[in-house]
């Protein structure tokens, strides 16, 4: 018998490191866990959600923020802060 309900609550779905306290991981639905950037709570969901950084070089923007914003926002930033155009 599974310890999770139909929403995936009752267990953490992290497959790697997480900055989220374990009690919150277990209380949150799987869908919510998957929506967090993998750099904050790694559920290996980036390939499914599109939460990836589009940086083509070193960036001054924190990784979690890079993964959380749309590509258009990343491309709006100056190249000197967050490079997105391949050289």
Q: Which residue has the tokens 């940086």?
A: 55
Does the model's pTM come out above 0.85? Answer: no
Three-state secondary structure string covering the chain:
CCCCCCCCCCCCCCCCCECCCHHHHHHCCHHHHHHCCCCCECCCCHHHHCCCCCCCCCCCCCHHHHHHCCHHHHHHCCCCCCCCCCC
Residue 8 pLDDT greater than 80, yes or no: no
Residue 78 pLDDT greater than 90, yes or no: yes
Tell me the per-residue pLDDT of 49-68, one tens digit each, with 9 for 90 and over. 667 888 899 999 988 888 88
Residue 1 pLDDT greater than 50, yes or no: no
Of residues 47 and 36, more confidence is placed in: 36
């Amino acid at each position: 018998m599974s310890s999770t309900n139909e929403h995936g609550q009752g267990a953490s779905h992290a497959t790697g490191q997480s900055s989220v306290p374990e009690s919150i991981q277990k209380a949150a639905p799987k869908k919510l866990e998957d929506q967090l950037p993998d750099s904050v709570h790694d559920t290996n969901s980036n390939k499914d959600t599109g939460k990836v950084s589009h940086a083509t070089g070193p960036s001054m923007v924190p990784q979690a923020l890079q993964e959380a914003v749309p590509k258009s926002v990343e491309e709006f930033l100056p190249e000197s802060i967050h490079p997105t155009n391949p050289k």
